Chain A
Amino acid sequence: MEKSKISIRDLNLYFEKQHILKNVNIEIPENQVTVILGPSGCGKTTLMKTLNRLVDLHDNARFSGSILFEGIDILHPATDLVHIRQKMGLLSQRPTPLPMSIFGNVAYGLKLKGIRHKKNLAPLVEKYLREANLWEEVKDRLNDPAIRLSIGQQQRLCLARGLAVNPEIILADEPTSALDPISARIIENQFVELKKDYTIVLVTHVLRQARRIADYVVFMYLGDVVEQGPAEAFFNNPTQEKTKEYLGGAFN
């Protein structure tokens, strides 16, 4: 088996009395696209936000278990959140351009890394915009407000911004759900391209998307991990009844 980048062990998460994640155990393999599949409301997004501890923003969230990453337990109260979050770029369902220019958005992440001078920033901004496959489209208008880009471009800008903090993992939460099919494909291809250098965790409920780019699949249902395994085995020989039903389109 491949080296695993993140090990989720016995993870349980509650919002008040509601049991959202039930005894989740997942090994996320390094330099692969891990797709977390499942119908809406099954805890996919919550799992994602637990990985970079954005669940802390909810006053009523309680969790137990551990998430091991480079020998650190992400869930430990003393864990340095800034360090953890900079190791994981997050791409959310709708693009979230910050209220500044295109350049400013990418530079925002760089500045958090302590890179200040425009002279040092400019080549890096270009590098990450290229990595996100956006450079050619925006190179002549870097100082325009980011909000003027199309939705698909905005999402790639967010990808560039996420890459700029130099993460090892990309967390993508249904990143193409608000995009047109062509923009979605560009993002998908970019993921396949990026997995050489990054470990990618993608949440989606689009089966076809999962089939196209997944290397490893985790299928969740109502907070339980029903089945997980390498993509080929998962799609061709699912072992669980629930998985077969889902692949057959029962929940969509």
Chain B
Amino acid sequence: MATTITYYKLRKIKDRIVSGWVKTMVGLVLLLPVVIAISLLSKSWLILGHSGLSELLFSSVWRPLAGEFGFWPFIISSVWVTFLGLIFTAPICLLSAIYLTQYGSKRLLGMMQPVIDILAGIPSVIYGVWGILLIVPAVGSFLAPLLGIETSGFSILAGGFVLAVMLIPFILNILIEIFRTVPRDLFEASLSLGASKWHTIKHVLLGKTFPGIISAFGLGLSRAFGETIAVLMVVGNVVAIPKTIFDPGYPLPALIANNYGEMLSIPMFDSALMFAALLLMAIVILFNIFSRWAIIHFEKKQ
């Protein structure tokens, strides 16, 4: 009798421990971004008090020694590189995903899967080296002269190219998964009405998966914005607002990676870099909110 009661109690205690444990872990995950944000905010408090938010964001004067920190050139560089990367990668991913899922044989798709995985697994520093070896000279001594422009090749454009290549496996994978969820019946319904294959793809496949496509590119955007090493290696790292895509730029992640741990004797430099990190995080969160909003908006419309 006594043993059954103890057994019962023991089970209850065990149950409580496990559920407490599970909740703690979830709480930890939820807490993580908050903790990061708070620590970044507290570190960048100093510079915010010194210069004010609007000057930090929109001034293009970057003279740390004189205590002037304008982040505008970095923000613009980041935005340029990211959008170039996305623009280059979008048609490649979309069209190859359509081909692989709608036109190509099952065997081809099966063969592509490991290729995509390999591309995804290549460390970003290798993409950077490849960019220096191939993309930078291609831009500097082939593309630019063709248009009559002079550049070293280390440029926003090179950064965009390298970024585009890095985004391919990531976005392509998601798109293939999304396209495969569309039921065959739906295609047959459209074809049986006399629609052509392309008409069906345009209206049924892309219509059905539009929210998914938005979210794939939204995720790609966040990833691209934060990509550091490969971009840093080919983008030139010159603090100036790029006038054309052949000019060098200096994206936010590159600023942090290049300078953190150095020149920290300069007053407030440390705080300025923390502010850059905070900014990066805020922008990525904004992207996420936007793509989530877009998904909900378009799902409602269907």
Which A residues lie at the B interface, using CB under 8 A?
49, 52, 54, 57, 59, 81-83, 85-86, 88-90, 92-94, 96, 98-100, 108-109, 112-113, 145, 147, 158, 161-162, 165, 171
Closest 3 CB pairs of A and B: A90-B192, A86-B194, A96-B189
* Contact partners of A113 in chain B: CB under 8 A: 194
Determine the distance from Cα of A59 to Cα of B207 in the docked complex, in whole angstroms: 26
A92 in contact with B194 (CB, 8 Å): no
B301 in contact with A54 (CB, 8 Å): no
A90 in contact with B301 (CB, 8 Å): no
B199 in contact with A85 (CB, 8 Å): no
Determine the distance from Cα of A82 to Cα of B192 in the docked complex, in whole angstroms: 8
A202: min CB distance to chain B, Å: 16
Partner of A108, one of B184, B187, B193: B193
Q: Residue on A with the closest CB to B209?
A: A99
A66: min CB distance to chain B, Å: 21
* Contact partners of A81 in chain B: CB under 8 A: 194
Determine the distance from Cα of A161 to Cα of B206 in the docked complex, in whole angstroms: 20
Determine the distance from Cα of A59 to Cα of B105 in the docked complex, in whole angstroms: 9
B117: CB under 8 A from chain A?
no
Determine the distance from Cα of A89 to Cα of B191 in the docked complex, in whole angstroms: 10
Partner of B193, one of A92, A147, A162: A162
* Contact partners of A93 in chain B: CB under 8 A: 185
B188 in contact with A57 (CB, 8 Å): yes
B301 in contact with A96 (CB, 8 Å): no
Chain A to chain B contacts (Cβ below 8 Å), 12 pairs: A54-B192, A57-B188, A81-B194, A85-B194, A92-B188, A96-B185, A96-B186, A98-B204, A99-B204, A113-B194, A145-B301, A161-B193
* Contact partners of B259 in chain A: CB under 8 A: none
Q: Residue on A with the closest CB to B106?
A: A59
A108 in contact with B203 (CB, 8 Å): yes
Q: Residue on A with the closest CB to B211?
A: A99
* Contact partners of B196 in chain A: CB under 8 A: 82
A89 in contact with B192 (CB, 8 Å): yes
B190: CB under 8 A from chain A?
yes
B180: min CB distance to chain A, Å: 16
- Of A54, A83, A88, chain B has the most CB atoms within 10 Å of the CB of A54
B302: CB under 8 A from chain A?
yes
Determine the distance from Cα of A83 to Cα of B301 in the docked complex, in whole angstroms: 32
Determine the distance from Cα of A28 to Cα of B195 in the docked complex, in whole angstroms: 26
Q: Residue on A with the closest CB to B184?
A: A57
* Contact partners of A145 in chain B: CB under 8 A: 300-302
Given contacts A81-B194, A85-B193, 6 further A-B contacts (CB under 8 A): A85-B191, A94-B185, A96-B185, A99-B207, A99-B210, A108-B195
* Contact partners of B188 in chain A: CB under 8 A: 49, 54, 57, 90, 92, 96
* Contact partners of A83 in chain B: CB under 8 A: 194
* Contact partners of B207 in chain A: CB under 8 A: 98-100
Determine the distance from Cα of A88 to Cα of B191 in the docked complex, in whole angstroms: 11
For B150-194 the 0/1 string (1 means CB < 8 A from A) is: 000000000000000000000000000000000111111111111
B190 in contact with A98 (CB, 8 Å): yes
Q: Residue on B with the closest CB to A93?
A: B185
* Contact partners of B302 in chain A: CB under 8 A: 99-100, 145, 147
B301 in contact with A112 (CB, 8 Å): no
Determine the distance from Cα of A49 to Cα of B196 in the docked complex, in whole angstroms: 17
* Contact partners of A59 in chain B: CB under 8 A: 105
Q: Residue on B with the closest CB to A148?
A: B302
* Contact partners of B183 in chain A: CB under 8 A: 96
B301: min CB distance to chain A, Å: 7
Determine the distance from Cα of A164 to Cα of B183 in the docked complex, in whole angstroms: 23
Determine the distance from Cα of A96 to Cα of B183 in the docked complex, in whole angstroms: 9
* Contact partners of A112 in chain B: CB under 8 A: 193-195, 199
Interface residues of B in 20-76 (CB under 8 A from A): none
Known contacts: A92-B185, A94-B185, A145-B302. The answer to whether A52 contacts B203 by CB under 8 A is: no
- Of B191, B207, B210, chain A has the most CB atoms within 10 Å of the CB of B191
* Contact partners of A171 in chain B: CB under 8 A: 192
B203: min CB distance to chain A, Å: 7
B46: min CB distance to chain A, Å: 52
Determine the distance from Cα of A49 to Cα of B302 in the docked complex, in whole angstroms: 28
* Contact partners of A54 in chain B: CB under 8 A: 188, 191-192
For B131-142 the 0/1 string (1 means CB < 8 A from A) is: 000000000000
